[in-house]
Structure 1
Amino acid sequence: MKTSPPTSLRSPTSQEKHNGSEADSLGDELTTFDPVLEKIVWRKMDKWILPVVAMFYLLSFLDRTNLGNARVAGLQTDLKMTDKEYSIALTLTYVPYIVAELPSNLLLKTVGPNLMLPTMLTLWGVVTTLQGVVKSYQGLLACRFFLGLFEGGVFPGLVLYLSFFYPRQQLQWRISAFFSTASISGAFSGLLAFGIINMEGVGNRPGWAWIFILEGLFTFLFGVSAYFTLPRSPLHAPFFSEKEKLYVVERLREAGSTGQDEDADKFSWREVGQALLLPQVWMLAIIFFFDGSILYGLAYFTPSIVQTLGYTAARAQLMSVPPYASCFVVTMIAAYVSDRYHCRGFVSMFCSILCIVGLSMFLGSSSHTVKYGSLFLSITGAYCAAAALSTWSANNAAPHTRRATAIAIGFIMTNSGGILATWLLGSLSPSPLYTKATITLLVFAVLMLVFSSANTYYLYSQNRKKVAIRAVISRHEEKKGLGDRSAWFIYNT
């Protein structure tokens, strides 16, 4: 049965006016929900967009954390670096990374994600490759700085980009699909490093240098190809028919997703300030910091941790693979549950508990087998939580500028946690026990559980207040420009 377009349709943009009667007639054919189109459009996006985005993040995480594999393969020895200098090299990556995140997210829509994201990917591919030819510690520091600068806006930009294409309640599975490539990269990095270090001496270069050269060249080539494969928005997606484009835009608008109302989504410094006043943004920011400390501590130091359990350097690369492989499976299951039952907060709590149990096992046992087994829990908890938190952040702020700011704040805090982790497991808590670091990260995991519970309760209570408001006023009587504070914007708990 055909119906006229719902009243929630915004006024047409200049581009839509130019399209004339053709767009109007297509709009008249649309229903609010079409089960046939519903299957077609999201499957097309999953086929054409999700693999590209997933590869972006896999390469991003691979190129940022392969320093840990290179360290085990001899980089620290060859460049005559102390543990403190290694921590400095890691820290230097995060400084420009953090600085770039908010400006990058605010510029993403203006410049166009189809141009900005591939450019960042291509440039950091060049820098990654150059790490393979450095001859000194100072050269490595320069590379790490520019790697962080070019890579800083990638993860928040990808989360924001996906929110242009998918409704809020379908977002976590997709964010998890691309974020879980971080866990794949953890496994893939170990396998690659195991094979590449056998190139020791080829071209008169050490094995660790080839890790950077080969992985960096692939990143560069994929970045160039992305200029031709990444669409700017649903309306610019070549794989959609005109009817499918309009259907996607309407479904996104109904779901309160970003990027679909040109007036509300215009850049505004006021909206940047409004994001800073949202309690859920700051509760999530605290959780992001704690999770970032755990996640990056494990990302950079898992090969070193495994090596302290009695494995050779090459064997340690291989033994770091299984925990990340299991992490991928759990992350995708958790994402399905979260999207199906709209329970971002409970998934975050579950992940916190996994971290608590895993870190407790590592701290309390002297058995190498138990310590290795603990990595399956702590790695899974940290990575799975990051995907849930990223979606939770994107779901609960609107309009566009407010959402872009909220997402960027979360990742600024995540990477601030990464800075702490490089020192905790670097020079402040020596191997093989990492006692001080493990105690600190265990406390952080407990606090993740506390703040996840608090944020869930806060959002639940706000939704109850909105129900009461909707009972006494109509939508047309509500003040304009409230964004996520609107009584008709339902927070995802």
Structure 2
Amino acid sequence: MSSLSSRPPPESNDEKDASSFEKSAIGSSPRIAISSSGAWLKMDCFIVPLCTMMFFLSFLDRTNVSNARLAGLQQELNITSTQYSLALTVTYIPYILVEIPSNLLYKSIGPHIMLPTMLALWGLVCTLQGLVHSYSGLLACRFFVGLFEGGLLPGISLYLVSFYPRGMLQYRYSLFFAASGLAGAFSGLLAAAIVKMEGVGGKHGWSWIFILEGAFTFLFGLSCFAFMPRTPAHAVFLTDLEKEIVLTALKEDGIMAADERDDEFSWVEVFRTFKQPHMLPLAVMGFFNGATLYGLAYFLPSIVASLGYTTNRAQLMSVPPFAASFVLSVLSGLLGDRYRHRGLSIIIFAIVSTAGFATFLGSGNNSVRYGALFLLVPGTYCIGPPLATWTANNVAPHIRRATALAILITMTNSGGILATWLLGTLSPAPKYTKASITFLIFQVGVLFAALVTLLYVNEQNKRKAKLRSAGLCQEAEPKAIMGNDSVWYHYVL
């Protein structure tokens, strides 16, 4: 292996923006430059919508239980609020347990097999959820929904990361993650329409919510086997030249190793991920924001109903805050990639969310409290994309990155367990006082954790720059400390 001293001083490949990735990978030929633009455009038209649709269906099928609850699920099955919270918790237990193992198996199984299989299986279980007649049946379905869906978000995150250089990632991740806000908005609209099928086929409207949405997920999962590429090298929609352009950019940015053997599974790299100092504040942010996000995802229709709206009206009135989060998430993704600053995005939206919860908690006017949802929902949902992107941007090589994303999402879903109890039983409507105070504190915690992470990565960049300028990195670095531990690795702020 060649010495690192032979590398040019990194002005660096990690500090390049999207356009410079293309230039470095393709040279100056106009024909090749056109092919480069076409390659990224093709992936934007194929890979991003594919990931977005998968996550949209994931979020829709996991959280539509809140719409079903509002449509009569809880009364029909004769379950208490505590039992409802337990059913949500049962979903998260297997969900959390499979996240890290599934990401470690990502390369050996292949995302083109693993992700569609998950999609089809949980779609089938979600469909069966509409046929349950007892609480025990609901618990069984929620367990298997969590088991089959658990590896999807870390898997999709890793899949998307493997197709784009770091400087092009947040916008694409925002489009993909904004599907959660879109699912929240669409779920209310769809549920309002589906519940009108009450009595069709002898089934309740809430049953049809599960049956129709789950059946579509199952069919889409089966179709993904036919057209989902394993890697950019397997993408049939790219020409050979376009594949070369993409692969060159990914290798220059450290997303792919020049030697594939360097990306092979290693327990050493898995455990080294847990020792990365910046993983602790990132995981804390994942837990805090995850609790808030899933609390809103599962209970927003109920929260809106507590403000005095009728059941069907509450379904519809839960749509606008989610729609606002979709628009703001996409815009922040564009700006995040333009200025290559993930931490600032998190800080801004944590402040917005904090203001929203403070307003919701402090006001006794239902109109004002509904307006606060336009701060706290977008503020919470828009933290997800820069947080996941920041994690993926600042951990390398592949095994560390896969582990780091799985840790982040595991912590996010662990926060979801807390949310199911906090809003389900411990904090009653209409004020949800305990939940509002807790989420307010959590969003302040996200703000401080983001500041700590920002200071750490900035100091690391300064330290590495001093080592390079002082000529203290002329000897080859051992392979064991390559990746983001390398003196040549530049952290994204």
TM-score > 0.5, shorter chain as reference:
yes
Amino acid at match of 2:478: K
Aligned to 2:255: 257
Superposed, 1:84-483 pairs within 5 Å as: 84-258=82-256, 261-471=259-469, 472-473=471-472, 477-481=476-480, 482-483=482-483
Cα displacement string for residues 146-178 of structure 1 (whole angstroms, at most 9, x for unaligned residues): 000000011111110011110011111111111
User: How far apart, CA to CA, are the structure 1 residues paired with 2:461 and 2:28?
Assistant: 24
The residue that corresponds to 1:12 in the other structure is none
Secondary structure of 1:267's match? coil
Give the drift of 1:474.
Answer: 5.3
Shift of 1:244: 1.4
How far did residue 479 of structure 1 move? 2.9
CA distance in 2, matches of 1:443, 1:32: 52
Structure 1 pair 320/50, CA: closer, same or farther in 2 (3 Å)? same
Determine which of 44, 47, 59 is the counterpart of 1:46: 44
Establish whether residue 31 from structure 1 lines up as the match of residue 30 from structure 2: no
Residue identity in the other structure for 2:238: F
Q: Note the C-alpha offset of 1:49.
A: 1.1
SS at match of 2:82: helix
User: Is the CA contact (8 Å cut-off) linking 1:128 and 1:216 kept in structure 2?
Assistant: yes
- Change over 3 Å in CA distance of 1:228–1:324 after alignment to 2: same
Q: Distance in 1 between matches of 2:257 and 2:133?
A: 46
2:319 alignment partner AA: V
Query: CA distance change for structure 1 residues 480 and 40 in 2, over 3 Å: closer, same or farther?
Result: same
Alpha-carbon distance change, 342 to 140 in structure 1, aligned in 2, over 3 angstroms: same
| Alpha-carbon distance change, 479 to 195 in structure 1, aligned in 2, over 3 angstroms | same
Q: Deviations over 1:11-46 (max 9, x none)?
A: xxxxxxxxxxxxxxxxxx953995323311110101
**SS of residue paired to 1:225:** helix
Query: What is the match of residue 23 of structure 1?
Result: none
- Residue 18 of structure 1: aligned partner: none
Seen in structure 2, the aligned counterparts of structure 1 residues 119 and 233 have a Cα distance that, compared at 3 Å, is same
Q: How far apart are 1:240 and its partner, in Å? A: 1.2
Structure 1 runs of 4+ with >2 Å offset: 29-38, 258-261, 473-481
- Which residue matches 1:24? none
TM-score (norm 2): 0.93
Are the equivalent residues in 2 in contact too, given 1:352–1:382 (CA < 8 A)? Answer: yes
Is the Cα–Cα contact under 8 Å of residues 26 and 36 in structure 2 kept in the other structure? no
What is the one-letter code of the residue matched to 2:147?
Answer: L
Which digits, 9 at most, give the CA deviation of each residue in 1:438-465, with x for residues without a partner? 0011000111100100100100000111
- Contact 1:338/1:347 (<8 A) preserved: yes
Q: Residue 470 of structure 1 contacts residue 487 of structure 1 at CA under 8 Å; is this kept in 2?
A: yes
Whether the 8 Å CA contact 1:252–1:260 is kept in 2: the answer is: no
Q: State the 1:270 CA deviation.
A: 0.2
Aligned AA (1:206): H
Task: Confirm or deny: 8 A CA contact 1:323 1:380 kept in the other structure.
Answer: yes
Residue of structure 1 in register with 2:63 after alignment? 65
CA distance in 2 between partners of 1:87 and 1:259 (Å): 45
Verify: 1:492 aligned to 2:488, yes or no.
Answer: no
Secondary structure of residue in 2 paired with 1:232:
coil
Residue 53 (structure 1) shift: 0.8
> What are the Cα deviations for residues 173-214 of structure 1, in whole angstroms up to 9, with x where unaligned?
111111101100000000000000000000000000000000
Q: Is the 8 A contact 1:344 1:392 kept in 2?
A: yes
Cα distance in 1 for residues equivalent to 2:47 and 2:405: 20
Q: Residues 421 and 486 of structure 1: is their aligned pair in 2 closer, same or farther, counting only changes over 3 Å?
A: same
Using the aligned pairs only, state the percent identity: 53
- Structure 2 CA distance, aligned partners of 1:261 and 1:206? 57
Say whether the 8 Å CA contact 1:170–1:339 is kept in structure 2.
yes
The 8 Å contact of residues 32 and 251 in structure 1, kept in 2 or not, is answered as: no
Residue 249 and residue 434 in structure 1: after superposition, are their counterparts in 2 closer, same or farther (change >3 A)?
Answer: same
Instruction: Give the whole-Å Cα distance in 2 for the aligned partners of 1:258 and 1:206.
Output: 50
Q: CA deviation at 1:470?
A: 1.6
Query: Secondary structure in 1 aligned to 2:459?
Result: helix
Could you tell me how far apart the structure 1 residues matched to 2:202 and 2:475 are?
A: 72
Deviation for aligned residue 1:477: 2.7
* SS of equivalent to 2:383: helix
SS at match of 1:264: helix
CA distance in 1 between counterparts of 2:393 and 2:409 reads: 15
Q: Which amino acid aligns with 1:489?
A: Y
CA deviation string 1:119-166 (max 9, x = no partner): 000000000000100000000000000000000011111110011110
Structure 2 segments unaligned to the other structure (5+ residues) = 1-5, 8-24
Equivalent-residue separation in structure 1 for 2:258 and 2:162 (angstroms)? 7
In structure 2, what residue type is equivalent to 1:477? A
Equivalent residues of 2:36, 2:242 under 8 A apart: no
Secondary structure of the residue that 2:163 maps to in structure 1? coil
More displaced 10-residue stretch of structure 1: 482-491 or 35-44: 35-44
TM-score between the two structures when normalised by the length of structure 1: 0.93
Amino acid at match of 1:351: F
Letter in 2 for 1:136: S
Inter-CA distance 412–384: structure 2 relative to 1 (3 Å threshold): same
8 A contact 1:95–1:148 mirrored in 2: yes
Distance change (3 Å), C-alpha of 1:324 and 1:260: farther
| Contact 1:118–1:226 (8 Å) recurs in 2 | yes
2: CA distance between counterparts of 1:30 and 1:352? 39
Residue 259 of structure 1 deviates from its aligned partner by 6.2
8 Å CA contact retained: 2:57, 2:183: yes
For 2:335, the aligned partner's letter is: V
Amino acid at match of 1:285: A
Give distance in 2, aligned partners of 1:436 and 1:125: 34
Alpha-carbon contact 2:115-2:152 (below 8 Å) kept: yes
More relative contact order in 1 or in 2 (CA 8 Å, sep 6+)? 2
Aligned residues between the structures: 469
